[in-house]
Amino acid sequence: MITPAPKNTREEHSACMGSLLWTGPRRDAGRFQNLKKNTMAITTLDTKTALIVIDLQKGIVALPTAHPTDEVVKRASALADAFRRHGLPVVLVNVAGGAPGRTEQPRRGDLPADWTQLVGELNRQPQDRTLTKRSWGAFTNTDLQQHLEKLGVTQVVIAGVATSIGVESTARQAYELGFNVTVAVDAMTDMSPDAHVNSITRIFPRLGETGTSRQIIDLLEKRSV
């Protein structure tokens, strides 16, 4: 299970990261211990930072995942509430299709009518921007970049499902477009524990900074003191 976020010290951050990284047999514990040493707590948030929540919709949260999706939704919702309180942009993304290229893994067949509906716990507000994508990354064939730049956004915080697919793809795109990137590691999960670990330990630290939802909210609160 995903453990509650610790206080804002790098040692405690690493301990929390360790709980997020491994749910299988302990024979590989040493390898993951070495990986988590490379992670560092988030240091700062830009004046204009936006939250991007990826694919927390009925059809996705119902899938079997490495961590309970209700905990992921709870933390993503807390982030969204905090960003709204501070007058910062919130972007709620869902997925309604996929890229047309051939793949070895079969695509899902007929889907329920409400498959794309965002979960109610996100408490969508009129000022939130909603965005439907038809690929892994939220910037592909959408106006997300233009929307953020129009608002003067220079940093994005990303949460959602799946860590190695929608979240990582969006983080890679944001980084390549010049945004500062932060990922909320306890507000995401994946269908594959190994893929989740790989993204958090090997990919995200090269794209930006990692932090827990509590650490990110605390940074927001400190800015208003």
pLDDT, tens digit, for every residue of 106-135? 666 555 668 899 999 999 999 999 999 999
Reported as a pLDDT band with limits 50, 70 and 90, residue 41 is confident
Q: Residues 130, 124: contact at Cβ < 8 Å? A: yes
Percentage of the residues of the chain whose pLDDT score is greater than 90? 71
* Res 102 pLDDT > 90: no
* Ramachandran area for residue 160 (φ above 0: left; ψ -120 to 50: alpha; else beta): left
For residue 80, is the peptide bond before it cis, meaning its omega torsion is within 30 degrees of 0? no
Residues in the chain, total:
225
Residue scoring higher pLDDT (19 or 223):
223
**176: three-class secondary structure by DSSP:** helix
Quote the pLDDT of residue 225.
62
Give me the DSSP letters along 71-123.
HHHHHHHHHHHHHHHTT--EEEEEE-----S--SSPPP-S--TTTTPBPGGG-
What are 178-199's pLDDT values in tens digits? 999 999 999 999 999 999 999 9
For 193, the token pair is 């524990």
48-68 average pLDDT score: 95
80-84 average pLDDT score: 98
Residue 16, beta-bridge partner list = none
Quote the pLDDT of residue 11.
45
User: Rounded CA gap, 179 and 225, in Å?
Assistant: 26
Residue scoring higher pLDDT (91 or 1):
91
Give me the DSSP letters along 46-75.
-SSEEEEEE--BHHHHTS--SS-HHHHHHH
**17: three-class secondary structure by DSSP:** helix
Q: What are phi and psi of 129, to 5 degrees?
A: -95, 125
Q: What angle, 0 to 180 degrees and rounded to 10, lies between the N-to-C axes of helices 10-21 and 29-36? A: 140
* Res 16 pLDDT > 60: no
What are 122-175's pLDDT values in tens digits? 999 999 999 999 999 999 999 999 999 999 999 999 999 999 999 999 999 999
Residue scoring higher pLDDT (38 or 71):
71
Q: What are phi and psi of 32, to 5 degrees?
A: -70, -30
5-33 average pLDDT score: 43
User: Rounded CA gap, 158 and 80, in Å?
Assistant: 11
* Res 74 pLDDT > 80: yes
Percentage of the residues of the chain whose pLDDT score is greater than 70? 74
**141: three-class secondary structure by DSSP:** coil
- What radius of gyration do the chain's Cα atoms show? 17
